Amino acid sequence: MRIVLSGGGTGGHIYPAVAVARQLELEDSSAEFLYIGGTRGLESKLVPQENLPFKAIDITGFRRKLSLDNVKTVMRFLKGVKSSKQMLREFKPDVVIGTGGYVCGPVVYAASRLGIPTMIHEQNAIPGLTNRFLSRYADTVAVSFEGTESAFGGAKNVIYTGNPRATTVSVANPQRGYASLGIPEGSTVVLVVGGSRGAKAINEAMIEMAADVGKGKGVHYVYVTGEPYFEDTRKQLRQKLGSLPSWLHVLPYIHNMPEVLACTSLIVNRAGASFLAEITALGIPSVLIPSPNVTNNHQEANARQLEREGAAAVLLEKDLNGSTLMEAIRKITGAEEVRRKMSEASLRLGKRDSAAIVTAELRRLAAKHS
C-alpha cells in the first residue's frame, strides 16, 4: 500500500502521522510513504529524522483579522494545491491522511479532487479551521475524543479512533526513562513541562515554588524549561536555592519523552491533544494548565475532557502561581488513593489501540477505491 501523510506546524500534528506510519510498517513491511509538509513548519526537521520521505510546499495559515496577508495565503493555497496534485500524480498513493495544520489543506483537497481516498484526523476537542474545511471533502473524519463527532455534522463518515500517538508511547520502557534522568528506579517522578518550547507562566510558577518542592521527601522533580528559557530559569533557581539539589532536575528539552513519561508518577503540563494522548496511554495523573493563547481556547476544552473523567486537575493560567501549583501537586502526590484513582481514570481514556484503528480505516478506504 502507498500512503501519503500530511500534518504540520507543531509536534501535535506531526507525531500522530508518524505513529500511523510506524503502525502500517508493522502491519505491512512493503508499505511505501510520502510525507508532504510545509517549508516553514517543524515537520521539515522532524519527519526526515524519522526516515520518512519528505516533500514540502509553501503554505501559511489564515489570520483571524482582515489582512493583506490573507490574500497571499489564498495564492499560496492555490499554488499548494497545484504542487500537491503533481506530487500525488507522481507518487500514486492508495490513500491520503491529514493530521491537522494548515499544510493539510491543499494536500487533502488536491487528493479529493483527484479521486484519491482521503482521511483526516482531529486531535483536539474543538476542531481546527483546516479540518473543518476539509471535512466537506474527506471520505472519513477521525476524532480523538469520544462525543466530539457532532462537531463534524456535515461530514460523510465520522469515527472515534482516539489519538494514534497513544499507541507509540504505550510500549515505552520506564527503566530507560529512569536511567536517562539519572534517577533511581521506582522513585516518584513529577514531570513539569510547558510544551516543546516551554511556557513562561509555568517557568515562573516553578521558580516561585522551588523552595517548597524539597519538602516532599523521596520525590524527584524533572523540570523541562524549553530551550528559550533554560539558561535564565536555571540561573534564577540557583539564585533562589543556592545550588540545584539532587531531587531537582532542570532540562531544556527531553528527546526520549515516551520513556520519561513511562517512569512519571504525575505530570504538570499544557493540554495539547497529542500530549494528552500520551499520558492517558500510560495512565499518568495530571495537573493541566491549558494555554490561553490558542485558537478557540481548545486546550481548555481538551483539559476539561480529562477533568470530567477524574483523570486530571485543571489549573487555569490566570490562577497560576507558585502556591497554587504546589497545592495542586501535593493534593495528588500526598494522597496515594487519589493518585491511584486518577491513574485508573487516565488509563481508561487511553486504552484504545488508536493507531491500529486508524490504519484499519485507511485499508478500508484504499480497498474500496481499488
The pLDDT-based confidence of 340 (bands split at 50, 70, 90) is very high
**pTM for the complete prediction?**
0.80
Are 21 and 362 contacting, i.e. CB atoms less than 8 angstroms apart?
Answer: no
Spatial neighbors of 261 by CB under 8 A, at least 6 apart, are 169, 172, 177, 191, 267, 278, 279, 282, 284
Q: What is the CATH number of domain 2-162+352-369?
A: 3.40.50.2000
Pick from 108, 3, 114, 120: nearest CA to 363: 3
pLDDT digits (tens, 9 = 90+) for 31-70: 999 999 999 888 999 999 999 999 999 887 665 555 566 6
Q: Alpha-carbon distance 341 to 285, whole Å?
A: 9
pLDDT digits (tens, 9 = 90+) for 78-131: 999 999 999 999 999 999 999 999 999 999 999 999 999 999 999 999 998 899
User: Is 29 one of the annotated binding-site residues?
Assistant: no
Q: 163-167, 188-192, 210-214, 235-239: lowest mean pLDDT where?
A: 210-214
User: Is 124 one of the annotated binding-site residues?
Assistant: yes
Q: Alpha-carbon distance 15 to 10, whole Å?
A: 9
The confidence score (pLDDT) of residue 60 equals 72
Q: Alpha-carbon distance 42 to 164, whole Å?
A: 19
Place of cell 500514486: 92
Q: Is the pLDDT of residue 15 over 80?
A: yes
Task: Give percent above pLDDT 90 in the chain.
Answer: 77
**Mean pLDDT (the chain, rounded):** 92
Beta bridge partner(s), residue 165: none
Instruction: Please give the DSSP secondary-structure letter assigned to residue 65.
Output: S
Q: How many CA atoms lie within 13 A of 350 on its CB side?
A: 29
CATH code 3.40.50.2000 region(s) in the chain? 2-162+352-369, 169-349
User: Is 254 one of the annotated binding-site residues?
Assistant: yes
User: Is 196 one of the annotated binding-site residues?
Assistant: yes
Q: Alpha-carbon distance 284 to 286, whole Å?
A: 6
User: Is 154 one of the annotated binding-site residues?
Assistant: no
Are 126 and 236 contacting, i.e. CB atoms less than 8 angstroms apart?
Answer: no
**Helical axes 273-281 vs 11-27, angle rounded to 10°:** 50
Q: Alpha-carbon distance 254 to 177, whole Å?
A: 10
The confidence score (pLDDT) of residue 2 equals 97
CA separation, residue 73 to residues 30, 102, 120 (Å) = 37, 10, 21
pLDDT digits (tens, 9 = 90+) for 140-181: 999 999 889 999 988 889 999 999 988 888 889 999 999 999
Task: Please provide residue 36's backbone torsions phi and psi, each rounded to the nearest 5 degrees.
Answer: -105, 115
Alpha helices in the chain (DSSP H): 11-27, 43-49, 68-91, 104-113, 129-134, 165-169, 174-181, 200-213, 230-241, 257-262, 273-281, 298-308, 322-333, 336-349, 354-369
The confidence score (pLDDT) of residue 358 equals 96
CA separation, residue 163 to residues 117, 139, 166, 254 (Å) = 20, 18, 6, 21
Q: Which CATH class is domain 169-349?
A: alpha beta
The confidence score (pLDDT) of residue 111 equals 98
